[in-house]
Amino acid sequence: MPQLIAAIRTGHDPVGKLPSGAFHRTLETQLNCPKCDATYNLVVDYDASVGRFFEEESRRPIMMLRKAIMLGHGDGHGVAHFETAGVAVTSFLPPKTEEQLAAEAAVEAARHEGPKRVRELRPAMGRPR
């Protein structure tokens, strides 16, 4: 049975559900972005992590999470939580702040004023770091 492994950005709370199980274990291995200093902690079900073949079974999902983190560098690591069971990686964005929602509403309202006004407002829509 494939196990679910979650990668949660350091300093953030999990956005999606954690892997099923009574207890979770944060692995000592952290995944780092090779292009910057963003780090992600790996969380797995405790029972699965102490199994005899965990290292072999988790190699492929960890490689997929590592690749997703590297690809996430392009959008400023806006994704705070990745998870995979070995087939596909699911990403969870943190909830937007009130400032970001207000900035998006201002850009939508400015669309009828012209592209110059939209370009002036777009920097306010940045993601939190």
What was the pLDDT predicted at 122?
63
Q: Is residue 30 within 8 Å of 10, Cβ to Cβ? A: yes
CA torsion through residues 18, 19, 25, 31, sign: negative
Which positions ≥6 away from 113 have C-beta within 8 Å?
A: none
| Residue with more model confidence, 73 or 121 | 73
pLDDT digits (tens, 9 = 90+) for 46-99: 888 888 888 888 888 889 888 888 888 877 777 888 888 878 888 887 777 788
- Mean pLDDT for all residues in the chain: 79
C-alpha dihedral (91, 97, 98, 104), degrees to nearest 10: -50
pTM for this model (two decimals): 0.68
Of residues 109 and 72, more confidence is placed in 72
Residues 6+ apart with CB under 8 A from 26: 41, 42, 43
- Could you tell me the pLDDT band of residue 128, with boundaries at 50, 70 and 90? very low
- Asked if 88 contacts 63 with a C-beta cutoff of 8 angstroms, the reply is no
- Given a contact cutoff of 8 angstroms between Cβ atoms, the answer to whether 62 and 49 are in contact is no
Q: In the structure encoding, which two tokens stand for residue 27, read together?
A: 């692995």
